[in-house]
Structure 1
Amino acid sequence: MYLNRFHKINSTFNYVSLHIRRFLVTQNVNKVALYFHRARLIDSIRLALRSNSSDNLVTYLENPSLDSFVVTKALQSAPSPESALHLIECLKKIPHFSHTHNTLYALAKILAKARETAKLQALINAINSGKFINTPRVSYMDQMRWYAISGEFNDVVRVWDEWRTTLRKHPCTESYNIVMGLYVQVGKDSDAVRLFRRMIEEGALPNCRTYTIMIEHLVKTRNLDSAIELFHMLPHVRIKRTLKQYSVLVEAFTIANQLDVVKVLLDQMRSDGILPVRAMLWSLQQMQSAGYDAETNELLRDMLPDGRIKMIGYSMDSSEDDSDDEDEEIDGNNTNAVDQPHLKPWLDPASLANALQNWGAEEVTALEDANLVWTSRLVCKMIRSFKSAETAWQFFYWVSCQPGFIHDIYTISRMITKLARQGCVDLVDQLLSKVEREGIRLSFSTIRLIIDFYGISRYGDPALRVFKSIKTICGPVSKSSQLLLYSSLLRTLIKCKMNSDALDILDEMSLLGIVPDSQIYSGLMNHFALHGDIKTVQRLFGMARQSGIEPDAYMYKVLIHAYCKCERAALALRVFEDMGNSGLLPDAHTKQLLVKSLWKEGKLLEAASVEERTEEISDALPLASPGHMFTVSSTDLSRICNIYSNSFQSTCS
């Protein structure tokens, strides 16, 4: 007991003294220079982990610069779970090192990959018991992620069930994704489909990762037609299509020799402003061999290894004086280096961007001295990682002056959306003017993002200007894409309280023959109801029906909630009656809200009537009315459920 107490006191002393020392050392340090110093140490550890000598690894770990950042990144870049665990063992010999939240979580992930479930559970228990200083309890989500990595399905479900008992509503969407992904992994098709239905029924909204899991599942079971149908539905339900989804589908249709479909996917990927990854290299080479040169040449050129990026090799000399030699390319003809590993230098754009936040002269000089090879992909990652749009803009201008680098549509798009997100209107206008002058066409997705981000930063007029110049900066846009742009614009305008402009845009859509979908009407009706503009709400409801849209359960729910919030329970009751006449049921929460509002406004008989009408069917009331304003309707979710379940009809039945 006394030894344990001494160990805890000693660990506390080491932790405090270490951080005091680092605080004093780093007060005036150049953060960029510190980043590259750490990077060289990380590279040394990476190479040592790939060698056969433990002595060299311990020597590098004894470096005074070793801290939790270096250890975390070294663990994450270890070649295997076994080598990472070896690194953890070697760290026990380093008296000045103490684990932090980041290193412990990196260790947990490694234990999960190594399937060391007992050790993982012991680590979680140790963290939760407060054994480690300044490390909070492990969340249910992190536990689920780690057990999922280790393939321990029963532990994932156990943690999920335990978490659900602590919640009033459904858990987050990502928790469903984890369980659903495990079902797909072990081949439980019907269970995956049932869990997706359960997610919808409980009111959780699927996100892009949910659809990625579904697409991977459909591809894995050779349901390619269903996979591409689901993929083409994503823009309609306002879900961003991801690089992972494109990669999975491109590979699947290349293997199936349906190269025309691959061509369409590559065109859509370019339209979405997404850069390809090395995983697509084989598919693109197959396309090129089949004669699709125009579609693949540019993409292949961006994916080939950049000869300007030198490799690092393992050096037996660990002296500080020779640290610069680690960045030199090893001669392949050197017989002493034949069996030695060759790696790209370690680089973390997010950490480098964080070191550059102040953008001072010393930091910029250190960045220039590093002689990094700037590619479009790296610049995009850097821009995304900057917290400040102003710093990102300074970097954007600086990197344009670096030898061998020219901004392209990807870096320009990333910069424009970053500026729009933080409301830098003048800089956005400046970049858009340059784009227009030089005849560069931005992707439709970029324009839509600008409009969406202006809604977040509350700049309605600039969003209108961008929308009206769509043809000059984007080119022709299809009617389906125009609908999405109008949806984003309307949402931005009501966020900016530009109600009259929003109604004018709605009239403009009617004149152009672009019919708003039920998501748009639901969002607009909710907004105007909350502002007490009942006449406009009723007008919108009438417009929806005149355009052929049959209100679904979610639209009725939106109206009932909105009327109740603005204390118009009589109107909410009328909507409830219309809902019943349409053969639809409200979810339990909506029914309770209506009854409570009627009671509050003194309409006791009406409240009793609602209770009486729903008493016999109370068990049949849905838990939630699936859908979301401006994004997805109940009808869309039902269609997606049908696409997914029909692909596994035999197993689900």
Structure 2
Amino acid sequence: MRPSWRRARWHRYCEFHSSAAAAAAPSTTAKNGKGSHYGSFFQFLRQHPQVGGLAPADRNGNGAVEEEPSTSESPAEEETPLNIQAGNLHMYRPSRPPRWEPFKSRDTIGSFFSKMEAAIEVGNVLREMGWNEDSQVKVEKLKVPWNPLVVLQVLRQPLEPDAAWGFFQWLKGVEGYRHTEHTYNSLIEVFGRVKDVTGIQKVLDDMSAYGCGMNVVLFTTVIHWYSRADDIDRAVEMWNQMLKVGCLPNVVTYTMLMSLLTKLKRFRQVGEIFKDMVSAGCRPNVRTYTVLIQCLASSGNLDAALLVFEKLDSLKASPTAATFRVLMDSAASAGDLELLKGLFEGMKKANQKPNGKMYFTVMDSLKKAGKLTEAAPLLEAMESMIEADQLYADFQAKTPDQESTKEEDDRRGSSGGETKERSVPLQDMEVMEGLDRPLVDMKAFSTIIYRWTPETAAALEAANFRWDPWKVLRVLMGMRDVTAALRFFYWVEKQPGYKHDSFVYTKMISLLGRHHHFSQVEELLMKLQSSDIEVSIVTMNSIIFTLSVSHNPDLAMKIFYWMKDLKVKPNTRTYTTVIDMLVKMRHFDRAMAIYQEMLDAGCKPDAHTYTVLIQSLGREGKIDAAEHLLEKMPLNGCKPNVVNYTSLINSLIHYGRVSHALAVFKRMQDEGVMPNSITYSLMSKGLKRANMLHDLVEVEKKMATIDFWKQQRVKSEDETLVNETILKALLPELKRESQDQRQTE
């Protein structure tokens, strides 16, 4: 039942519209007093669908309006136009259809694969015959139930642009079908893979004429393929058009454009784009920082690149293998073997492994710097961490031999034309050549395997579907029943050629932990320990966090100490999660013991760790200990932030020490930490309660001069330092302005 205020508002809402309905349809009467509001209102909506919506019962399965048959007793009345906004009837608007209408959960495994098989057959026809009258007749005979997702499966196959274009235009005449921005996006990728910028422009013109609008994903896709084709002018033009129409770029768009400008050595433009990104409030990710590090290193600012690299962990952007590769290549080019060795050791500590591409890139850079002989032991250590097959494959990709080139030429026609693609059977449809993603859309596939039954298992086995950890992850994310997910987990493990990895185990354990199936969690952990799967710190942190929010501290602590047996060293996030869990369970002594163990292990706490500890000491009434901990933060290499000070001020005010809280409030500003709205609100309430009116007036005056709405996200000191370092390195005028300002001061 609705709350009383909602019921009252609902009755007023129905009374207003029932009066309008009575005026428009006076012959409509109600059978009872309470139903007079609802019955007349619904009847009014049935007779006036143009007002703004219909009840769900007034629509059939296809979304069309069902017309009521007219009878002699109740003759049909003419529709009376009323001046009512559609927004007033938002409750009765037809529900928006899902994005992939044909693939709802009611579809079966068999119907899904039949549609995928039809898409494969259409792709084979287009590759063998192109698009002409004969291929059109052949496609029509297949009687494919066309919808956007089936079209996507066709366009994801390696097709000739002309064949894809003809097929795409033919679909416009198919009854009941309409292209979406997703199908246009896939067609742009067909032209982009062959670097046909003219074809991309043709698709954009057709899209505009068709009435399909552009969004940030389409803009980003076009900029990406213009970048791959080295057409900087078109990419920048598309960027300017994106800003002109008011479409805000996302982090992927910014990163893509900066990557293109870095390859073209337009470092100043990279700085300008990054400045706009920071001003727009778009937060960089690890890929963005990797591109910026490459830009700084390529522009001769290796020190700035190393500073950004050192701050990545504090920015919650852990470096990837690509980040290490960029810096190791720069260090090798500079001939700095000590830096190269340090980066390699850091890479091993971060559980990142080198690949063949990194190995050969570093080797070439060392050879050019004349340091190849001196770096032989380091190269041998790198080579020992790379599998032989992968190293050979990367070497073949770097320097293709004559035999592979001859085989590739034999696959081409006698006239030197393009390669003739082979037909792809159903069981090979998820490993297409020339594609970097599977043909089967696992997002749509996971919607039909939301539960697990013997019939589902039999259908999947009959389809000869090839499983890999990525596909299993997507299915587990789409399943609703944790018991069914566990059955699927054990079933797929027995499939030939498949093996679980640490990410699949992490996802399954997290699902079980959130649903409080702790016995199965322990069973899977024992199974993971007995397997040869390498357990990373990311896996352990995810499992401990899941158990902590599931209120099972005993099992979480058991796994925390079990990490030593697995030789996985806890990091700052691990200790912080455990401390936070113990504090919430009011085990303050154990939390402080873990904190001391963290310091003894040489792991540096971060600002969040201290926030948890200060809050826990404040709740226990140990205010002096909390303040002492805050003062010790700089000694441990962590400067207090606004959250740390606010936590201490809150505890001081709670225990009536308002004067001391005011002193801490002034001290934080003297140290350059600006209070936020929460800090000011706490001080205002505390001063008012303590009747310190003079100080209250000063605080509220200063509070009135600050626009807290503009402070959407408080930037940390490290983030500010990184942004300033990047901008000063890439935009020299900012560096000169900073120097002039220092001289003036």
The 3 A distance-change label for structure 1 pair 198 and 517 is farther
Q: Which amino acid aligns with 2:554?
A: D
Output the amino acid matched with 1:482.
N
**Within the alignment, does 1:294 sit opposite 2:384 as a pair?**
yes
Q: Does 1:546 align with 2:632?
A: yes
The answer (yes or no) to whether the contact 2:104–2:448 under 8 Å persists in 1 is: no
Map 1:357-396 → 2, pairs under 5 A: 357-375=450-468, 379=472, 383=476, 389-396=482-489
1:97, distance to aligned residue in structure 2 (A)? 1.9
Counterpart in 2 of 1:9?
none
Deviation (angstroms), 1:212: 3.9
Deviation (angstroms), 1:466 = 1.0
2:297 and 2:270 map into 1 onto residues whose CA distance is 14
Residue-by-residue CA offset, 1:451-475 (whole Å, 9 max, x unaligned): 2333444443322221111111234
Structure 2 CA distance for aligned equivalents of residues 593 and 575 of structure 1 = 15
User: Which is higher, the Rg of structure 1 or of structure 2?
Assistant: 2
d(CA) in 1 for partners of 2:149, 2:301:
44
CA distance in 2, matches of 1:25, 1:181: 32
Matched, 1:96 2:159: no
1:74 counterpart = 2:154? yes
Give me the whole-angstrom Cα distance separating, in 2, the residues matched to 1:27 and 1:380. 18
Other-structure match for 2:121: 44
Aligned residue in 2 for 1:311: none
TM-score normalized by structure 1? Answer: 0.68
Residue pair 1:148, 1:156 contacting (<8 A) in 2 also: no
Equivalent residue number for residue 316 of structure 2: 238
Contact 1:180/1:195 (<8 A) preserved: no
Distance 1:523 1:397 in 2: 39
In structure 2, relative to structure 1, the CA distance for the partners of 1:641 and 1:46 (3 Å cut) is same
Moved more, 421-430 or 280-289: 280-289
Aligned match for 2:112, one of 31, 35, 40? 35
User: Is residue 379–residue 411 contact of structure 1 (8 Å, CA) maintained in 2?
Assistant: yes
Aligned residue among 446, 450, 474 for 2:543: 450
The residue type paired with residue 435 of structure 1 is L
The correspondence of residues 156-235 of structure 1 with structure 2, limited to 5 A, is 156-158=242-244, 175=250, 178-179=253-254, 181-183=256-258, 185-186=260-261, 189-190=267-268, 192-193=270-271, 206-218=284-296, 221=299, 226-227=304-305, 230-231=308-309, 233-235=311-313
Structure 1 position 626, deviation (Å): 3.6
Structure with more contact order per residue of length (Cα contacts < 8 Å, sep ≥ 6): 1
**Against the structure 1 CA distance between its residues 579 and 270, is the aligned structure 2 distance closer, same or farther, given a 3 Å change threshold?**
closer
The aligned counterpart of 1:65 is: 145
Taking structure 1 as reference, are residues 474 and 303 closer, same or farther at Cα in structure 2, changes over 3 Å only? farther
Deviation at 1:91, TM superposition (A): 0.8
Counterpart in the other structure of 2:717: 635
Task: Find out whether 1:559 has 2:647 as its counterpart.
Answer: yes
Query: Are residues 406 and 640 of structure 1, via their aligned partners in 2, closer, same or farther at CA, if it must alter by over 3 Å?
Result: same
Q: In 2 relative to 1, CA 60–70 (structure 1 residues): closer, same or farther, beyond 3 Å? A: same
AA matched with 1:453:
T
Q: Is the 2:557–2:578 Cα contact (8 Å) retained in structure 1?
A: yes
Deviation at 1:34, TM superposition (A): 2.4
Alignment of 1:507-522 (within 5 A): 507-510=596-599, 514-522=603-611
Distance of aligned partners of 1:75 and 1:216 in 2 relative to their CA distance in 1, 3 Å threshold: farther
* 1:50-95 superposed Cα distances (whole Å, 9 cap, x missing partner): 4552142674366333222212333455658776554431211211
CA-to-aligned-CA distance 1:323-346 (integer Å, 9 cap, x gap): xxxxxxxx9799999942146443
- Amino acid paired to 2:173: K
Q: Could you say what secondary structure the match of 2:564 adopts?
A: helix
Q: Which moved more, 1:463-472 or 1:378-387?
A: 378-387
Matching residue within 700, 709, 730 for 1:648: 730
CA contact under 8 A between 1:200 and 1:626: conserved in structure 2? no
Whole-angstrom distance in 2 between the partners of 1:298 and 1:506: 43
Q: Match of 1:352?
A: 445
1:64 is aligned with what amino acid? V
**Gap change, CA 1:296 and 1:54, over 3 Å in 2:** same
Determine the C-alpha separation between the residues in 1 that align with 2:275 and 2:682.
26
TM-aligned CA deviation for residue 519 of structure 1: 3.2
Give the Å deviation of 1:542.
1.4
Matched-pair contact (CA < 8 Å) for 2:727–2:734: yes
Cα contact 1:68–1:103 (8 A) shared by 2:
yes
CA distance in 1 between partners of 2:241 and 2:271 (Å): 21
Deviation per residue, 1:339-380 (Å, 9 max, x gap) = 421464433444433332222222211211233444456555
Query: Residues 297-346 of structure 1, C-alpha deviation per residue, up to 9 Å, x if partnerless?
Result: 26728979xxxxxxxxxxxxxxxxxxxxxxxxxx9799999942146443
Q: 1:588 to 1:148 in 2, by over 3 A?
A: farther
Equivalence map 1:485-524=2 (5 Å): 485-494=574-583, 501-510=590-599, 514-524=603-613
Q: CA offsets, 1:420-475, max 9 Å, x none?
A: 56654322211221233457551222112222333444443322221111111234
Stretch of structure 1 that moved more, 176-185 or 276-285? 276-285
TM-score (norm. length: structure 2): 0.61
User: 180-189 or 255-264: which moved more?
Assistant: 255-264
Q: 2:642 & 2:313 partners in 1: Cα distance?
A: 20
Count of residue pairs the alignment pairs up: 579
Q: Say whether the 8 Å CA contact 2:472–2:504 is kept in structure 1.
A: yes
SS of 1:473 mapped into structure 2: coil
Distance 1:599 1:85 in 2: 71
Aligned to 1:610: 699
Question: Are the aligned partners of 1:417 and 1:453 in contact in 2 as well (CA < 8 Å)?
Answer: yes
Any residues of structure 2 matched to 1:107-186 within 5 Å, and which? 116=201, 119=204, 123=208, 126=211, 142=217, 145=220, 149=224, 151=235, 152-158=238-244, 175=250, 178-179=253-254, 181-183=256-258, 185-186=260-261
8 Å CA contact retained: 1:201, 1:625 = no
- 8 Å CA contact 1:30–1:362 kept in 2: the answer is no
SS in 2 for 1:559: helix
